[in-house]
């Protein structure tokens, strides 16, 4: 699994269990980002690039949303 921020493959995994609650939290060793995965969707918990204008998560865009010059 890769970090969704820097794509590094070196991370730590924390298993949280408490009275029926179970969550796996991942933390990148390189950039310090934290995230969890639920139903194949990544949820960023701690984003080290929070003040950047670049976004970690992207929106899907259909091909017909782009204007083409003729």
Q: What is the pLDDT of residue 68?
A: 52
Rounded to whole angstroms, what are the CA distances from 23 to 1, 16, 54, 58, 61? Answer: 16, 5, 28, 24, 30
Phi, psi of 63 (to 5 degrees): -65, -30
User: Helix/strand/coil (H, E, C) string of the chain?
Assistant: CCCCCCCCCCEEEEEEEECCEEEEEEEECCCCCEEEEECCEEEEEECCCCCCCCCCCCCCCCHHHCCCCC
Q: Locate the domains of the chain by residue range.
A: 11-65
pLDDT tens profile 7-62: 888 888 888 778 877 788 899 998 888 988 887 888 888 887 766 655 555 455 45
Q: What is the pLDDT of residue 1?
A: 77
């Amino acid at each position: 699994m890769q970090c969704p921020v820097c794509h590094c493959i070196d991370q730590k995994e924390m298993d949280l269990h408490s009275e029926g609650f179970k969550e796996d939290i991942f933390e990148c060793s390189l950039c310090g980002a934290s995230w969890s995965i639920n139903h194949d969707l990544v949820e960023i918990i701690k984003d080290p690039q929070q003040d950047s204008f670049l976004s970690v998560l992207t929106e899907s865009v259909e091909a017909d949303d782009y204007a083409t010059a003729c």
